[in-house]
């Protein structure tokens, strides 16, 4: 069995690994690290949770241990698709380089340019950035990439999904041709093949699992959701989610709920919080400081449920997530693998439950085609609940008082407005301007009886012919 001590890493890096408690590398680490130390380009393909980050941070630290960076000219560059993933890579460097004197800078949105410029001006050995912010600094003349010796593209397929292809190609044109390039990805799309053929030189390919496979330790199920009415679909779907959470009981220590749209992330998080669940949202439109504090609360155990967009689907290292809920089936099948990969990490058991409504069935077919398996179904037919049962606090069943304007309930809890039995319905038929009288609607009781086959809008001149024949 290969151990970290067999991988020819620097002694100071080996010491940091031992202090972190790691002894045996993961398969992708065991295959990628020796080739990276030889200076070869790497194309690493592995599912989430397999240790891709350490596969490039450990050899980079060993190679950069000697030498010194010049002002505004970083010696290495790591590109990440999201702020959270970039921050996680920075944490890995802090962990493994504690005994090596290396400087680093993190260039992400939501942070002052002035603070980042100050770090770059001092010279950094490791520059970790999102593509957009990196190019912002370059265009402002604050950064030169002509001394980059090692370039890493992390979560390459996610970069492509998010539309970073032009930025990636431009960044490649700014770094030296003689650099060492490391590409790491969870899936191998045809577009990535094109990029690697263009920018990598005879790469060492490392593939430790079939493309886009889910861990065998994750139990997967799908709730086939059918709303009782179209206008109640959203509220009934949120109710179904709460029932799924409650059904897991004590087995659910913490969970991530994924939504396709940012607006749904906010709505679901707010709804769960209203019903007493410890939840908070995270997506790309939130302030960076709020995103950081939310993630820290979830990692530290202070927050039980994280409601997220796909910004959190990849690369976030929270090893003990017990459950993942897909409030929506993702529109890209590969995203399903990355979402559920947040649970069942490092050999732990996990559970992933997906809610699928009729409009999502085509996406579910794509997911199962990618996985090459059928996910077990749970059939539940939604039923509209009475008002007093839908509210968080149950009201007396004998009388349900109308709420005051200040205490008005959400639309999903309000009963449809119908006339009371002892009230006389108001005649709301349109008035004919020529006669000043009410025109009759189809199917309404009168002496002539219902008019059949005339459509919803009966012309007055036709109705008048019936009145003359049968009487008004």
pLDDT at 116: 92
Angle between the N-to-C axes of helices 52-64 and 11-20, in degrees from 0 to 180, rounded to the nearest 10: 150
Q: Which of 207-216, 222-231, 294-303, 402-411 has the lowest mean pLDDT?
A: 402-411
More confident residue, 331 or 423: 331
Q: Is the pLDDT of residue 115 over 70?
A: yes
With a cut of 70, say whether residue 338 has pLDDT above it: yes
More confident residue, 466 or 7: 7
Of 15-29, 157-171, 381-395, the range with the highest mean pLDDT is 15-29
pLDDT (tens digit per residue) in 299-322 = 889 999 999 987 655 556 677 899
Q: Quote the mean pLDDT of the chain.
A: 81
Q: What is the pLDDT of residue 208?
A: 79
The arithmetic mean of pLDDT across residues 50-57, rounded, is: 88
pLDDT in tens, 225-257: 999 998 999 999 999 999 999 999 999 999 999
Q: Could you give the CA distance from residue 324 to residue 48 in angstroms, rounded to a whole number? A: 14
How far is residue 153's CA from residue 166's CA, in Å, rounded to a whole number?
14
Averaged pLDDT, 162-186: 91
> pLDDT value at position 334?
78
Per the model's pLDDT, the better-predicted residue between 240 and 469 turns out to be: 240
Residue 421 has pLDDT above 90, yes or no: no
The confidence band for 66, taking pLDDT boundaries of 50, 70 and 90, is confident
Name the CATH topology of 218-384: Rossmann fold (3.40.50)
d(CA 231, CA 243): 20
Distance (Å, whole) CA 252 – CA 11: 41
Answer whether residue 407 shows pLDDT above 70. Answer: no
Res. 396 pLDDT band, cuts 50 70 90? very low
**Residue 234 and residue 412 in contact, taking contact as beta carbons nearer than 8 Å:** yes
pLDDT at 49 over 70: no
Residue 172 has pLDDT above 50, yes or no: yes
The secondary structure element, H or E, covering residue 258 is strand 255-258
Q: How confident is the model at residue 285 (pLDDT cuts 50, 70, 90)?
A: confident
pLDDT digit string, tens, across residues 436-462? 444 444 444 444 455 455 555 666 666
| Strand extents, DSSP E, 278-345 | 279-282, 305-308, 323-326
Instruction: Report whether pLDDT(156) > 70.
Output: yes
CA dist., res. 200 & res. 89, Å (int): 22
Instruction: Say how many C-beta atoms besides its own lie within 10 A of residue 449's C-beta.
Output: 11
Q: Would residue 16 be called left, alpha or beta, if left means φ above 0 and alpha means ψ between -120 and 50 degrees?
A: alpha
- pLDDT over 90 at 268, yes or no: yes
Nearest to 42 by CA among 203, 158, 190: 203
167 touches 131 (CB < 8 A): yes
Where do the structural domains in the chain lie, given as residue ranges? 4-207, 218-384, 422-472
Q: CA-CA distance, 385 to 388, in Å (whole number)?
A: 8
pLDDT of residue 315: 52
Report how far residue 247's alpha carbon sits from residue 244's, in angstroms, rounded to the nearest whole number: 5
112 pLDDT above the threshold of 50: yes
* pTM tops 0.75, yes or no: no
- Which is more confidently placed, 190 or 126? 126
Pairwise pLDDT comparison (356 vs 310), residue with the higher score: 356
CATH number of 4-207: 3.40.50.300
* DSSP state at residue 22: -
User: Rounded CA gap, 40 and 49, in Å?
Assistant: 24
Residues pairing with 355 in the sheet: 223
pLDDT at 405 over 70: no
- pLDDT at residue number 381: 55
Residue 399 is predicted with a pLDDT of 38
- The pLDDT of residue 462: 65
Do 4-207 and 218-384 come out as alike in CATH topology? yes
């Amino acid at each position: 069995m290969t151990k970290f001590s067999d991988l020819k890493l620097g002694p100071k890096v080996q010491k940091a690994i031992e202090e972190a408690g790691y002894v045996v590398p993961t398969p992708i680490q065991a295959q990628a690290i020796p080739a990276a130390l030889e200076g070869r380009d790497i194309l690493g393909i592995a599912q989430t949770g397999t240790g891709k980050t350490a596969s490039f941070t450990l050899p980079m630290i060993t190679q950069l241990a000697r030498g010194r960076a010049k002002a505004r000219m970083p010696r290495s560059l790591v590109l990440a698709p999201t702020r959270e993933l970039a921050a996680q890579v920075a944490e890995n460097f802090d962990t493994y380089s504690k005994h090596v004197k290396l400087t680093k800078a993190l260039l992400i949105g939501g942070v002052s340019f002035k603070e980042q410029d100050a770090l770059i001006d001092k010279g950094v050995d490791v520059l970790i950035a999102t593509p957009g912010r990196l190019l912002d600094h370059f265009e402002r003349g604050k950064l030169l990439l002509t001394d980059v010796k090692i370039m890493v593209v992390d979560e390459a397929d996610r970069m492509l999904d998010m539309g970073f292809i032009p930025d990636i190609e431009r960044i490649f044109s700014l770094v030296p041709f003689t650099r060492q390039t490391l590409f790491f990805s969870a899936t191998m799309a045809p577009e990535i093949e094109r990029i690697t053929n263009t920018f990598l030189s005879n790469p060492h390919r490392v593939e430790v699992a079939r493309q886009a496979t889910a861990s065998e330790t994750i139990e997967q199920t799908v709730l086939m959701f059918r709303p009782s009415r179209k206008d109640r679909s959203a509220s009934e779907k949120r109710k179904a989610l709460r029932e799924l959470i409650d059904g897991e009981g004590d087995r659910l220590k913490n969970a991530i709920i994924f939504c396709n749209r940012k607006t749904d992330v906010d709505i679901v998080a707010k709804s769960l919080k209203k019903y007493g669940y410890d939840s908070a949202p995270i997506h790309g439109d939130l302030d960076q400081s709020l995103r950081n504090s939310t993630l820290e609360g979830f990692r530290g155990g202070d927050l039980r449920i994280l409601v997220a967009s796909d910004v959190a689907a990849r690369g976030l290292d929270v090893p003990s997530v017990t459950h993942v809920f897909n409030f929506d089936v993702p529109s890209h099948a590969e995203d399903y693998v990355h979402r559920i990969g947040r649970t069942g990490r490092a050999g732990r058991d996990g559970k992933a439950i997906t809610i699928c409504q009729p409009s999502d069935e085509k996406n579910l077919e794509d997911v199962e085609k990618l996985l090459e398996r059928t996910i077990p179904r749970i059939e539940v037919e939604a039923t509209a609940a009475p008002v007093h049962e839908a509210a968080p606090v149950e009201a007396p069943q004998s009388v349900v008082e109308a709420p005051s304007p200040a205490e008005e309930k959400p639309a999903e809890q309000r009963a449809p407005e119908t006339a009371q039995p002892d009230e006389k319905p108001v005649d709301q038929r349109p008035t004919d301007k020529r006669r000043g009288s009410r025109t009759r609607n189809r199917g309404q009781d009168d002496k002539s009886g219902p008019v059949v086959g005339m459509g919803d809008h009966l012309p007055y001149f036709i109705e008048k012919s019936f009145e003359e024949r049968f009487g008004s």
